[in-house]
Each structure stands twice: as structure tokens, then as C-alpha cells.
């Protein structure tokens, strides 16, 4: 118990770091995933190809490798940003590929006839997507998107290895101070649990509210 | 027919891979005409209907609507589709929207009407198809016949020049077919230009100006209904009629 009470501010900083990473990267992943999913079902061939390549590259690259590429690669091209921002970029882009695929599977659950009906009313592609297809697709992807964001929260631990303040990274400091490594990890695990359970709770509410309204 | 042509198809050909589903189709539908397309399944009649608003593309030939050739994808095509109402076999109502919202959506998004104005018009149309009391329900809460009448109201809400019906009663229980046919009969009496793909011979007899009989991707006969049903010229049509009219 001493580990926690003595180092509350260290844990607190780490916890807040992870929360920040998770929130910003989630927002980026949701926005990019939404755009990429739209690309992948667009009537324009080049957009579909772009979306497919985006997903193929990001989904199939190990996240650690992606962190190296972003944190060490981008500065070489003159793009120098705080490590926190790089970490959000890496996490957000990586997760956007999974969000995109979840959304796309949701889009496929909407009967094609409804899209045809919308188009035959004279609605454009984007009107059909935003007014008819996506609102129904969202309902069937609430749970997989929640799982993806939980994975994102846990994946954010990798950022600690790149000197970003986050929860897992606190063990190094505390270990050097001679605290019990086991208890340190127990409190860290509890910290992650608070974050992931909070995400689960939010998505459970969303699913109750929107999931079955047909 | 000496009327203004509204829909003109010239030498239209379409293939699904090897399969030649539409072969040299020539067809003219005049303003105010009701044309019923019948034929055995796989004859290309649904495909024909869907090419008119370019839900299906064609490989060669020309389709004109009110004198204008069908545009490629994009804004112009969307504009044209808003002038052509379409009713599907499987209704295709928007499952996440109420009946009223289904009818209003296109008016707001495409015609740019204010929501109140659109809802007002929607209620009038729902009244016309006998469903004013169902406005707040979701499609899944309605019977098939009711859903199809909503779909007709939804298409009419765009004030289309022509209505296409792609087997509108084929997915319905027998006792619900009439409620849909009655709405269609009324539309025909009001002078709407209609292309109707159907197996309902009664409707063809009573409401159609012409019957187009298709088989194997071709238009085999194109005549007044009474003529067609009493004196089919082709062997193919005689064979088809003998099979469906016996019972």
C-alpha cells in the first residue's frame, strides 16, 4: 500500500498521461477510421485504393515498429513535434485501420436495397452514406469499436518506451527507488483497469441507447 | 402512340459477363402512359426497369429521359434520379427512420424543402395511400403491404415525372397485394407515367395502356393489353400465358 500512498503523484501523472494519450488517439482513430471507411466504399476507384492501402499498411505493421518509424523517421524529414504528439499520431493512425474495418463490416450489414432506394430518390453518395447507411452501420459496430478502443488504451503503454509520460512507465522510476515491483505492477494494472472499464461502460451505454433501436 | 415520349431506349444492350441480359432493346414510353412489362423470370424485365434510372449501367445504346440522355455518375445523375420515382420488390424502407421520416428525407436532402413543409407534404401523401395513422411507426412495425405503400409515398414525395415499379407485389402475401395495386390504379388514373414490372395480369388488363412482353433479354411483343392477352402473336407469349392463366 505504501507504494501507492508514497508515490501518488507519480502514479497520478502516469495515469493522466495514459488517459490523455487514449483520448486524443481515440479521437484521431475514430475520425481517420471514418474517413477511410468512406473511401473504401466510395464510387471513385482511386479513393478505394487509398483506403485499402492505408488499412493494409497500418494494420499489418507491428505497433512498436510504427512508433520507431514515426518518432525517429518523421524528424528526418524535418517534422519535429513533441513526443506526445508523435505518440498520438502513431497510435491514432494504427488504430484507425481497425476502426475503418469495423465500420466497413457495419456498412455491409445495411441491406444494399436501402442504398439503392436513397440513390433513386436523388441523394448523392455522401448524403446516402451519412443519412442512411452510416447511422445504421454505427449501431452494429458499437461493440467492436469499443473493443478496439480498449486495445488502444493498452497499446498506449508502448509510448512509455519513447519517454512519453504514461502509466506503465512509472514502474521504472519506482523500481529504482526500491519499491516492491509486484505491488507496483498491481497498482499499474488497476490503473489500466479503471480506464478500460470506463471505456466498456461508455460503450455499454451507447449500445443500450442505440444498439437495437430498429 | 403520338404522345410526347418521356422515356426512350434505343438499341440498349447489357451483359453480365457472358450473359446478354438486354438485347437491342427499343422502347418508348409516352407522357401519361402506363406500360406493364411482363415475362418469365430471367427475361431481363427487372434489369430493364433498373437501367432507366441507371441503377444498372448499360454497355451500348442510348437511354433518354424527357429528351435528355442519362448522365454519368455525379450530381447530374442524382438530379435526374430525383425525377424518376422507384418502387422496389423488397420495399427498401430506411429501417432506422419512422414512416414520416422515410417520406420526408428525400424532400429535405434533395429538394431542399424545410422540415415542416416536407412533413406536411409527407402527411398528405400518407393520407393518400391510407397510412396517415402509421406516420410515427418504424418500417419493421408495418405489414408488407403497408411498407410498400409507404415506399410509394416516399417516391411520390419527390414529385417525379415517371414512376418505375420493379415487381412491387411479388414479395407480398396474397391478401396484401390488392391494397398496393389499388394505390397504383389510382396513380394511373391520375395520369402518372408508369413503367410496371409485374406478374399481376389483372392490373395489366385494367390499368395498362400497353403490355411489353420480354423473353431472353428481348422485347418480343409490345401491344395493347386486350390484344396481347386474347391474341398473343408469338409462340413464346402463348406458352407463357398458357402457364400463368390456367389456374
Per-residue pLDDT of B136-181, as tens digits, reads 999 999 999 999 999 999 999 999 999 999 999 999 998 899 999 9
Average pLDDT, chain B: 92
Domains of chain B with CATH codes: 5-92+162-245 (3.40.50.300)
Domain assignment present for residue A213? The answer is no
Distance CA A206, CA A200 (A): 10
Cell of B109: 436532402
Cα A152 to Cα A170: distance, rounded to the nearest angstrom:
19
Residue A104 in domain: yes
Output the average pLDDT for chain A.
Answer: 90
CATH number for the domain spanning A88: value is: 1.10.3720.10
Q: What is the mean pLDDT of each run of 10 residues along chain B (247 residues)?
A: 81 92 94 93 92 92 91 86 94 94 95 95 94 94 94 95 94 91 93 94 92 94 92 91 77
- Contact at CB, A43 and B82, closer than 8 angstroms: no
Helices (H), chain A: 2-6, 8-40, 45-59, 63-68, 74-76, 83-109, 112-120, 125-128, 134-155, 170-176, 181-210
With respect to residue A197, please indicate whether it lies within any of the assigned structural domains: no
Q: How far apart are CA A115 and CA A119, in angstroms?
A: 6
Measured between beta carbons, the chain B residues lying within 8 angstroms of A135 are 96
Q: What is the pLDDT of residue B246?
A: 65
- Per the model's pLDDT, the better-predicted residue between A75 and A114 turns out to be A114
Its pTM stands at: 0.82
Q: Which of A118, A122, A129 to substitute to test the interface with B, most B CBs within 10 Å?
A: A122
| Counted domains in chain A | 1
pLDDT tens for each residue of A116-144: 999 999 999 889 999 999 989 988 899 99
List chain A residues with CB under 8 Å of B95. Answer: 111, 114, 136, 214
Is the CB of B94 less than 8 angstroms away from the CB of A123? no
Q: B165: Cβ–Cβ under 8 A, 6 or more apart, which residues?
A: B49, B86, B87, B184, B194, B195, B196, B197, B198
Confidence of residue A196 (pLDDT cuts 50, 70, 90): very high
Residue listed under C-alpha cell 483497469? A193
Q: Are B110 and A214 within 8 A, CB to CB?
A: no
Domain assignment of residue A71, given as a range: 16-165
Assess if residue A5 is contained within a domain: no
Closest by CA to B102, choosing from B136, B144, B55, B54, is: B136
Examine residue A214 and state whether it is found in any structural domain, yes or no: no
Interface test with A, best of B49, B86, B95 (most A CBs within 10 A): B95
Q: How far is A103 from chain B (nearest CA, A)?
A: 17
* pLDDT tens per residue across span A9-56: 888 888 999 999 999 999 999 999 999 999 999 888 999 999 999 999
The answer to the question of residue A1 being in a domain is no
Q: Is residue A6 part of a domain?
A: no
Residue A29 lies in a domain: yes
pLDDT for residue A214: 47
DSSP string of chain B, one letter each residue: --SPEEEEEEEEEEEETTEEEEEEEEEEEETT-EEEEE-STTSSHHHHHHHTTTSS--SEEEEEETTEEPP-SSHHHHHHHTTEEEE-TT----TTS-HHHHHHHHHHHTS---HHHHHHHHHHHHHHTT-GGGTTS-GGGS-HHHHHHHHHHHHHTT--SEEEEESTTTTS-HHHHHHHHHHHHHHHHTT-EEEEE-S-HHHHHHH-SEEEEEETTEEEEEE-HHHHHHS--SHHHHHHHHHHH--
* Whole-angstrom distance, CA of residue B205 vs CA of residue A158: 74
Distances B46 to A117, B37, B56, B93, B222 between C-alpha atoms, Å: 15, 9, 10, 19, 16
Report pLDDT for B4.
84
Amino acid at each position: 500500500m505504501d507504494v501507492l500512498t508514497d508515490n501518488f503523484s507519480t502514479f497520478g501523472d502516469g495515469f493522466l498521461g495514459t488517459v490523455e494519450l487514449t483520448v486524443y488517439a481515440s479521437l484521431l482513430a475514430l475520425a481517420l477510421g471514418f474517413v477511410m471507411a468512406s473511401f473504401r466504399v466510395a464510387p471513385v476507384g482511386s479513393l478505394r485504393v487509398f483506403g485499402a492501402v492505408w488499412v493494409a499498411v497500418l494494420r499489418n505493421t507491428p505497433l512498436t515498429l510504427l512508433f520507431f518509424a514515426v518518432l525517429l523517421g518523421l524528424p528526418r524529414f524535418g517534422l519535429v513535434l513533441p513526443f506526445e504528439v508523435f505518440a498520438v499520431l502513431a497510435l491514432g493512425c494504427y488504430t484507425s485501420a481497425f476502426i475503418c474495418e469495423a465500420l466497413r463490416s457495419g456498412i455491409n450489414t445495411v441491406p444494399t436495397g436501402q442504398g439503392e432506394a436513397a440513390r433513386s430518390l436523388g441523394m448523392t453518395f455522401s448524403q446516402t452514406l451519412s443519412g442512411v447507411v452510416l447511422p445504421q452501420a454505427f449501431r452494429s459496430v458499437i461493440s467492436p469499436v469499443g473493443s478496439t478502443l480498449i486495445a488502444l488504451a493498452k497499446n498506449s503503454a508502448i509510448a512509455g518506451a519513447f519517454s512519453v509520460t504514461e502509466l506503465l512507465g512509472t514502474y521504472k522510476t519506482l523500481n529504482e527507488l526500491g519499491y516492491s515491483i509486484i505491488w507496483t505492477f498491481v497498482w499499474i494494472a488497476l490503473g489500466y483497469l479503471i480506464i478500460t472499464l470506463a471505456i466498456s461502460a461508455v460503450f455499454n451505454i451507447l449500445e443500450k441507447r442505440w444498439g437495437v433501436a430498429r | 402512340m403520338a404522345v410526347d415520349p418521356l422515356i426512350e431506349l434505343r438499341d440498349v444492350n447489357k451483359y453480365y459477363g457472358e450473359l446478354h441480359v438486354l438485347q437491342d432493346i427499343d422502347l418508348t414510353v409516352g407522357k401519361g402512359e402506363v406500360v406493364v412489362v411482363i415475362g418469365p423470370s430471367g427475361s431481363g424485365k427487372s434489369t430493364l426497369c433498373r437501367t432507366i434510372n441507371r441503377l444498372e449501367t448499360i454497355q451500348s445504346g442510348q437511354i433518354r429521359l424527357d429528351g435528355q440522355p442519362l448522365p454519368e455518375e455525379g450530381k447530374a445523375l442524382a438530379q435526374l434520379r430525383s425525377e424518376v420515382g422507384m418502387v422496389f420488390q423488397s420495399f427498401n424502407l430506411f429501417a432506422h427512420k419512422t414512416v414520416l421520416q422515410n417520406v420526408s428525407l428525400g424532400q429535405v436532402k434533395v429538394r431542399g424543402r424545410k422540415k415542416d413543409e416536407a412533413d406536411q407534404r409527407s402527411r398528405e401523401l400518407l393520407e393518400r395511400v391510407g397510412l396517415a395513422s402509421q406516420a410515427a411507426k418504424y418500417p419493421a412495425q408495418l405489414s408488407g403491404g403497408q411498407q410498400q405503400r409507404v415506399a410509394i409515398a416516399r417516391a411520390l414525395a419527390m414529385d417525379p415525372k415517371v414512376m418505375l415499379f420493379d415487381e412491387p407485389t411479388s414479395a407480398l402475401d396474397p391478401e396484401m397485394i390488392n391494397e398496393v395495386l389499388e394505390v397504383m390504379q389510382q396513380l394511373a388514373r391520375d395520369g402518372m407515367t408508369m413503367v410496371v414490372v409485374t406478374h399481376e395480369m389483372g392490373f395489366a388488363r385494367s390499368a395498362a395502356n400497353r403490355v411489353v412482353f420480354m423473353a431472353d433479354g428481348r422485347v418480343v411483343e409490345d401491344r395493347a393489353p386486350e390484344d396481347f392477352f386474347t391474341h398473343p402473336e408469338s409462340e413464346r407469349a402463348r406458352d407463357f400465358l398458357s402457364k400463368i392463366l390456367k389456374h
